[in-house]
Every structure is written in structure tokens, then in C-alpha cells.
Amino acid sequence: MATHRFRPTRYFSVIGAAEPCLRVADGDTVVTDTIDASGLDAREIAVGSRPNPMTGPFYIEGAEPGDTLAVHIDRLTPSRATGWTYSPLALTVLEPAAIKDRPSSERHVWEIDGEAGTVRLREPVRGLEDFSPPLQPMIGCFGVAPAGGQALSTATSAQNGGNMDYRLFAPGTTAWFPVSVPGALFYLGDGHACQGDGEIVGTGIETSFEMEVTFRVLKRTISWPRGETADDIFTIGNARPLDQALQHATTEMSRWLGEDYGLDARAASHLMGQVVRYDVGNVFNPAFTVACRIAKRWLTKL
């Protein structure tokens, strides 16, 4: 098991089959840089020019179609002291009658204080002069190449992962992705210094990061992304409308409870019906994201 330090010179705005930037072994760790859309002007963009530039793809030796790639998020460190967001709230989260009253779109700069562990508007708007939420780094967009030779925009998400903007994709979490091509071809980027559920203004606090992740190849098959934290397991559905994303996430959780915890469909329904929690990921971009989450304390005796 080795640690690789990779400095990218090009970035991708799609997730798909491309020449690997680095080949690593099962169990290896990669430390690499990611940039947000504000860093594109002076950088080479390998495919396209829209936001969410991805670093990658990383080829993981031994990963074959039908396997699962487990990606442990070891560390996410902002590499500059500012980030940015937009206001106001997105059209997708407002009642139609309220849209006409929205203020104009504006870009706002945030100060990132790594020592204090907080973020703050550089020019606070009225009423938010003392607003200083915690620094909570997360990965907005990451995943593996999809099946069928597709290349999916980093604006959206699907079974391969992508732009999910789910807050639990943070340090300490292990994310699982279904492998569809040899080597998995893993991409990552879109680091957020902080973000509420849903990415409801169209961005988190976008900034550049140094990211550290560790790969494991699991000889098992999953259909949708999964994840595990110290306290929870969760499954991800990506689709539009929102209820379809919820259906994918719920079905994947039921499968997981059967495969790893020995619960048949009826037992899984009893458990899920009482203790499941649903979290909203991205509700701004073309595909919405729903996470189906269960606390591990309910699974310890299974």
C-alpha cells in the first residue's frame, strides 16, 4: 500500500472513459489537488468548460465491472482562504408565485478561517454581521465512469455518482461506487467549505482543496452509491423527480440489509419503517439526490 502525490495539469467537466492520469493499486492512497470553477481561466480544461472541474481519472488496479470501489475520504483541506457562493435561493426550491419576488443573482465571497474553523461573508449583508458557521469540508462531485461508454456532465449525477452535493461525503466517510469499466476510472472535485442540505442556492462555498482518499476494491456488486460513517450507513438515489431518487435509495438500502444483515424484505421493511432517515442532497441540478440513512446502533445485534 502506497501513498501517491498527484498534481493535476488538466481537469474534466464530464465523468467518463478517458486516459488515466495515474494508476494505483488496491489499498493505495492518493493526495491530490482540486479546483473550483474560479480557477479555470489559467488551467487546461480537457473536456468542456462548465463548472465542477474534476481531477482524474484514477485507474485502480484490479477493479473490474461488477465490483465495488470503496473510497475512504481521509482528509479535505481548503487550499486557499476564500470561497464563493451565489444568492438568492434557486428556482427549484421556491413556490412558483415567489419567483417573481426574487432579488437578482449575486456572487459573494466568503473568508475561510482554517485556524478558527469557521467561514464568514467578506461583506456581510444586513442581519448577518455575526453569522459565522463552522468550516465543514465536503466533496460535492465524485464518482466512477458510467457504463455503456457514456460521459456524464459534472452538473448531474446517476448510478456512477457525480454531482450529488451530499453533506455526509466528508472526512471519515467511506463512499462505495458500482464499477462499470476496468480500473473504475475515478474522478473527484467540487470541494465545498460549507453547505446546507440541498445546495439550495446553486453552490456550496466553492473553493480549491487538497484531498486525500484511499481506495479499496470490493468483490461485490451494488446498484447505487452507498456510504458509511462512524455512526450510519446510507444509500444514494440520483434522479428527477425527487420521488424517483428516493425510490432508488430505498430499494438499495433494502438490498443492503438483506445482503449484509440477513433481513428479508418483510424484516427490512419493519426496521426501515421505524428508524430510516432521509436526507436531501442536490436539488438544484438536473438530477436530484436523496440519501436513505440508518444509524448503526440499530444494526449492531443483527
pLDDT, tens only, 240-249: 999 999 999 9
**Sign of dihedral through CA atoms 139, 237, 179, 71?**
positive
Q: What is the pLDDT of residues 203-226, one digit of tens each?
A: 999 999 999 999 999 999 999 999
Superfamily in which the 226-298 domain is placed by CATH = Acetamidase/Formamidase-like domains (3.10.28.20)
Q: What is the pTM of this model?
A: 0.95
The domain spans of the chain are 3-80+136-218, 226-298
Report pLDDT for 301.
75
pLDDT digits (tens, 9 = 90+) for 134-181: 999 999 999 999 999 999 999 999 999 999 999 999 999 999 999 999
Position 49 confidence tier, pLDDT thresholds 50, 70, 90 = very low
> Residue 47 — very low, low, confident or very high, per pLDDT cuts 50/70/90?
very low
The domain 3-80+136-218 is placed in CATH, from the list 3.40.1530.20, 3.30.70.600, 2.60.120.580, 3.40.50.720, at 2.60.120.580
